Chain A
């Protein structure tokens, strides 16, 4: 049981390049989330998903797209990377059935540098 994993751990991009960040969870959770965290800041929600085939916008969705084709995977895409997207990206998942427990499990993060 690996929990929440993220791929890659670190990436350097040039402005205008595209990439996809992969989040995978093996806990059969319905809800999945993508956050970004900038230095000295709290986490900001980019997009989230309440189940396979569904996605929704969070606080800062511009410049990102997501897909949830399989329940265990949540992909975050950058079509044309910009230096402002330099950040640490965290993925999280939560069991919808455990609403009163509310344990959101986070991945280890992906550090992205856009030059």
Chain B
């Protein structure tokens, strides 16, 4: 049980912001929201994670709603190299990671 719901696929124009939604309505108070991505034929890559505050790093921003039941990963200026499957995961720190099917993001030139 991946505990999250994501759209199976999305398109985004190159240079625009890509906003990837994730629903996690059963998240508990001590569970964090993590995002990973997997570029074709490669192993997954960690992007960002957060608990309840919005987070930003060099790769992306994570916006978590106040009730923590959903979140959005934002890639501010998508490039063709951002084409990948994006996984939203909720977990307690130290617990194993359970991947769902993710969102396949297509960046259109």
Contacts and interface: CB of A to CB of B under 8 A. Distances in A.
Given A99-B93, A100-B93, A109 B41 contact: yes
A42 to B, nearest CB: 4
A96 B32 CA distance: 16
B28 interface: no
Interface of B: 2, 32, 34, 36, 38, 41-46, 49, 85, 87, 93-94, 96-102
A107 B43 contact: yes
Interface stretch (A13-21, A43-51, A73-81): A43-51
A108 B57 CA distance: 25
A42 B97 contact: no
Report, as a range, how many residues of chain A touch the other chain: 20 to 34
Contact of B49 (A33, A40, A102): A102
A34 to B, nearest CB: 11
**For the complex of A and B, 3 pairs with smallest distance between CB atoms:** A106-B43, A42-B99, A43-B99
Contact of B44 (A41, A102, A106): A106
A44 B84 CA distance: 18
A106 B93 contact: no
B52 to A, nearest CB: 14
Interface in A1-59: 4, 33, 35, 40-45, 48, 58-59
